[in-house]
Amino acid sequence: MSKESDLPVITPKSTGSSIRFVTFNINGFRTLFQYHPWTTHRNLAAMFRYLQADIITLQELKLQKSDINDKVARVDGYQAFITAPGLKCKRKGYAGVSVHVRVPQDHESDAVKRSLKVVKAEEGITGVLKSPDTGFAYRDSPSESVIGGYVTFNDLEGEEFTDAVLQDIDSEGRVVLIELANNTVVISTYCPANSMDTDEGELFRVRFISILFQRIRNLHQMGKQVVLMGDINISRDLIDSAAYISELLKAKVISSTNSEESNFETVNQQICEDFQSSTIPRKLLNSLLTDSITPALALNGIMYDTTRRHQGRKHKLYTVWNTMTNARPSNFGSRIDLILATKGCNSQASNIWPQIMGSDHCPVYTDFEEFFVGNGDRGSVSSEKTKLGFEAVKFYKLGRQGGLDMLFQSMRKRKLDEEVDREVIEDTQQVNQKASASGSSSVVSLSSKRSVKTKTRPTQATLAHFFKKPTPAAAAADQTSQFIDLSSEDQQSQSLSLSHLTSPSISLKLTNGKFSIPSDPKPPLCKHNIESILKTSRSENNKGRKFWSCGKPMRNGGDGLVLKTSNNDNKLGHELDEFSCGFFKWK
C-alpha cells in the first residue's frame, strides 16, 4: 500500500471555481513536519496543495523576525505575508502568523483571479507600524496606498490609546491583513488568551479584541467585505466547550438531551444565552455576529460563522484539545478556530478537519463560490503579482537560495535556537522554584520546549457554584456570575481548574453599536477619601477573590475586623482618620 493511500481524505472543493480558505494553528513551524501526514508532505507547498488551499493562514509559528527564511516565506505557487514578534516583544520565539495566497494561473477565470490577487497588505491591526511601501505609519500614509479603517478614539469611547499601547498590541506578531482585488479584506489573527489570568493580560486581551472587531466594522462601513480567520481563542457558545458542558452537567445545572442535540439549547436556553455574555471577549465576539443565539447581541452583528452556517448547531465541532490529558481521542475539546465572514461573502461549504494531525489544533476550511466581486472594475485581471513591500521575501530581505544569504540565515537560526533554549531553561527553573514554594504541581517538558503550570484544584468554588441560586448571605458577597475561560494559547488555561475565573474588574457597555472599554483601573476611594488597597480573600467561599478595602489598620489590629459604629456615633473624629473606615468592594 502506498504512503498516499494512508493519508487522511480531504474534502474536495465544492466546485472548480470555489475559493478555499483554511486556518490552522500549527503550534510551532519547526516541529510541524515531524508528524503525520506532514512527514509525507515535507514542505508548505506540498501541504497547501494537499489541503487544496487557495488562501491559508497559519498561527503560532513560534518564529522571530530574524528566523523567517525561505522555507516559510518562499513557497512555490504562493505569495506569502508573515508577521512575527518584534524585538520589543517580551516573549521571543512565540506567536507569529502567516498568510499564503495561491497565485492564479493564466487560464483561470477573472473572478478567480480577482479573488486571489493581493493588492494591499499590512502588518498589525492598529495602523501604528511603519508601512514598507510609504515609510510612514499605515494610518498616516496616503489612503490609496493602505487598507484603511483604522480605529480612532471616537470609535472606542472611554479609552484613549497612546502610541505606546498601540505599539505593544502590534508587537507580538498576531495580525496580517490583505486586501484582494474583489474588494475584500482578509484578516488573519492569533488572538491573545490571558492564559496566566492576570489583570494586565486581561486588559491587553480586551484592548486587542476591541480594536480588531472595531476595525472590521469600520472596513465594512467603507463598503468592503471582510473575512476574519484564525485562532480567536474564544469559545463563542456553550456547545463549543466540552469542559463547560461536563462541569455543568455534573452539577445538574443544565439538562442533558442525550442524542437530541437540536434540543440542548432550547432546554437550557437561559444558561446558553448567559454564556454568550459571560466574559467581555465572548460578548464582543457574539455582538459581532448575526447568528448569535442571543437576539440582543445579534442585533448589531455584521458577520456570520461559516462553519455554523453549514454544520448547524452540531455538538463536538472542536478544533483544539489538551495534549497533556490526551483529550483528542475522546474528542474532549473546544472550538476556538473560526472563519467568519460579512454577509456579502457567500460560503458554499465549511467544516473542521479533526483527522489532520501535527498540532493540538486541527484545520478549519470554508469554500466561497467565486467569492465577492464587489462594485469595482469587472474587467479582465492580470494574474501577475502586485509588488508589495510587506510580501515576506522582500520584507525580510531574503535573497535567492544558496550562497551567503543561506549561510547568514543558518547563523541567525542557530542564534535563535540558543536564545529559545536558554529562555526555556530559565522559565523551567522559575516554575519549579515557585512550585516548590507554593506546593502546587508543575508539568514541565524540556523536550517540547515549553513549560506548563497547573494549579491544584481547590475544594470550593467550581463553575457550577456560580450558577446556583445564592443564599442571601452569599448573594451579598458574590454579586455576579462568571464563567471561566479555558481557551489557551499554550494549553495553560486548559490545564487550570474550573475555579480559574476571568477578571470581573473590567466593565463593558454597548452604546450606539460601539463598545466602551476601560483604561487601567484605578483604586476606588474609601471613606477617608483616599485610594483603597487591593487584597485577596482567604475565606473558604471566596478564596483567591480580590477586593478593595481601606488601607488603614483595624481598630483591634485584627485581620478580619471592621470598624463599626453605633447609630448615634457621628463623631468619629480622629478615630476615623486613624483606623479603618470599613470600606469594602469586590474587584
So which residues are the catalytic ones? 190, 231, 361
Helix (H, G, I), strand (E, B) or coil at 366: strand
Cell of 32: 510541524
CB atoms under 10 Å from CB of 386, counted, come to: 13
Helix (H, G, I), strand (E, B) or coil at 199: helix
Helix (H, G, I), strand (E, B) or coil at 529: coil
DSSP 8-state assignment for residue 458:
P
569: annotated binding-site residue?
no
273 is an annotated ligand-binding site residue:
no
Residue 512 is assigned to a ligand binding site: no
What is 326-356 written as a DSSP string? Answer: T-TTTT-EE--EEEEEETTS-EEEEEE-TT-
Cell numbers describing residue 290: 448575526
258 is in an annotated binding site: no
How many Cβ atoms are within 10 Å of 474's Cβ, its own excluded? 14
Locate cell 442535540: which residue? Answer: 261
- Strand, helix or coil at 7? coil
Give, in degrees to the nearest 5, the angle at Cα 489 between 484 and 493: 35
CA distances from 165 to 203, 208, 527 (A): 11, 10, 33
Is 233 annotated in a binding site? The answer is yes
Residue type, 241: S
231 is in an annotated binding site: yes
Q: Are 218 and 149 in contact (CB under 8 A)?
A: yes
Instruction: Tell me 5's DSSP state.
Output: G
Q: d(Cα 208, Cα 185) in Å, to the nearest integer?
A: 18
| CA atoms of 554 and 558, how far apart (whole Å) | 6
Question: Residues near 379 by Cβ (< 8 Å), separated by ≥ 6?
Answer: 110
Residues contributing to the annotated binding site: 25, 60, 231, 233, 360-361
Residues contributing to the annotated binding site for Mg(2+): 25, 60, 231, 233, 360-361
